[in-house]
Structure 1
């Protein structure tokens, strides 16, 4: 009871000295601190796979990543309130619309790539070796076959993950689609995805989560690390190359021209043969 009271007092204090932005209708769960304090508080409607968990993990790796630094987190009433440093600047998406920073020759895609590949140097703990869809809290990640609206449990292997997301491939209507059936029906694409590595992936590494200096156009950092976690490495490439509103064509094309490790490229090429749609 005493600990819960302390949490409520901390949250009340943070709420008192912060406010939502003028664009609160877009991000109602983001509070900016008053009095020029360079902090922000983010409310996540769950207590697992949160940004706080990810920032604690990434901060412990020794990598010098351009990400927010965690100051505090409060778990209360099923929500997590993450207090972290404010990254100044504007989203690359907005800057691209106004300043043409989406030019394919702009150096920011190179920094994107450097950060993604730096994350790939991280090694899984032995107890989690080979597991995927695994967050920093030890829980699951958004399920791609449910349009990321629900969370799936961590999968023991890439094979089990692809079994989960390829049940639509069972054209013979078997009572039970198994990993054995999957491997027999699609041996080459499955071998390609299984040959790739497991890596720490930011599944929303897109233009709206990249902050740049609005004056110089220089890269500042990357936001929104909740739901990052251990996934097949080629899923990061899919995210970077995916065309969409949040990843304009000229910018996505930068990553289509970049070449990643051969086995990752082969796995990326094999994905369309296994998935009924590709979404990130």
Structure 2
């Protein structure tokens, strides 16, 4: 039996309620694999839905302040601490989320180090468009043979600059990938479950959820963050909801423009998530895909059956 269960899938696929249902069956605790849910006060925009966890303990949510820039290196360290703590207490870790890079980094044991900011490089990149930066990143990745930083999380100029900075700092062995022959054995010790949702249903759920979160006060959440002193450019850095909502709040977009552009961006994001997961399979990671439309009990039973084998 594997030590950990990993549940991944695109946005709006129902990962969290499934992870909670599985956790109740296996005495589990959930470790979030979401690059934005780490930030406090960023709730509606990141889709935390903390009420869904009920009484199941969760980790790596609300662990740093909005406006700061959490990164993959920090996530690895934080994940390992949570993972070992859960095991030491005799419970089952359940890794759940949609940030494929974070999931693969901990399962494959990427060898990372903290890459500091490079002021000289940043000065050279200042003023370049997102398209130019994306092309530079693509060329750097090809040169480095890197699987880091696809466009899933690089959707603003600031994030692209940081990705380029990391790639430059990674031309040595510090970001080389290993197939996890280290002592923790997390890659071999996890059952990988993917939540497979039909494209049209996914699009319908994304649009419905976006409307619901706007009705619940997502714009006010962004206004509140800015009122608390978080700079608009720092919110824009986080991409997706925070990028477009901030541009609406500061007057760069009308409400209708914000909604239309954000809806398209989330659909594109979900597609890129699936592209990353398929890439994980090509890189040798076996994902058991489960139909999102099955009844919850059927999905949980299927996962438990696979896990016990």
**Same-fold call, TM cutoff 0.5:** no
Q: Which has the larger radius of gyration?
A: 1
- The structure with more strand, counted as a fraction of residues: 1
TM range (shorter): under 0.3
TM-score between the two structures when normalised by the length of structure 2: 0.24
Structure with more contact order per residue of length (Cα contacts < 8 Å, sep ≥ 6) = 2
- TM-score, structure 1 normalization: 0.26
